[in-house]
């Protein structure tokens, strides 16, 4: 493929334009790449913080479960107290065994 002198005269000034365009495209690509990397880092940081933080709905659920467990424990304690009181009440009163001792009067 031969290049004519007229074509060469028009191509030489355009080479600098093309090189500038290519350079701008490369810079644009690098800039987009760095912006994307920063965005990923920000998302990663946010996701790490989210794992350590609870949602309000989860806190409420946990509190409700804790209240239910506390109520259950309180009921068990009351029931156990009632049972122990009923056992104490069921015990016959202490009866003195008089057959063991002999009363002698002199």
Task: Read off the pLDDT of residues 5-37 as tens digits, 9 standing for 90 and up.
Answer: 777 788 888 888 999 999 999 999 999 999 999
Nearest-angstrom CA–CA distance, 50 and 87: 54
pLDDT computed for residue 88 by the predictor:
60
Percentage of the chain surpassing pLDDT 70? 71
Task: Give 27-32 contacts, CB < 8 A, sequence gap 24+.
Answer: none
| Dihedral, 13, 14, 20, 26 alpha carbons, nearest 10 | -150
Nearest-angstrom CA–CA distance, 98 and 106: 19
pLDDT computed for residue 1 by the predictor:
65
- The tokens for 30 are 């690098």
pLDDT of residue 81 exceeding 70 = yes
| Dihedral, 82, 83, 84, 90 alpha carbons, nearest 10 | 110
pLDDT of residue 92 exceeding 70 = no
Give domain limits for the chain: 14-53, 55-86
């Amino acid at each position: 493929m031969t290049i004519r002198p007229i074509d060469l005269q028009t191509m030489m000034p355009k080479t600098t334009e093309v090189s500038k365009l290519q350079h701008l495209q490369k810079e644009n690509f690098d800039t987009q790449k760095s912006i994307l990397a920063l965005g990923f880092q920000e998302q990663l940081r946010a996701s790490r913080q989210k794992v350590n933080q609870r949602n309000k709905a989860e806190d409420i659920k946990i509190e409700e479960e804790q209240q239910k467990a506390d109520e259950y424990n309180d009921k068990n304690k009351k029931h156990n107290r009632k049972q122990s009181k009923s056992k104490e009440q069921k015990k016959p009163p202490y009866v003195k065994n008089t057959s063991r001792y002999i009363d002698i009067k002199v």
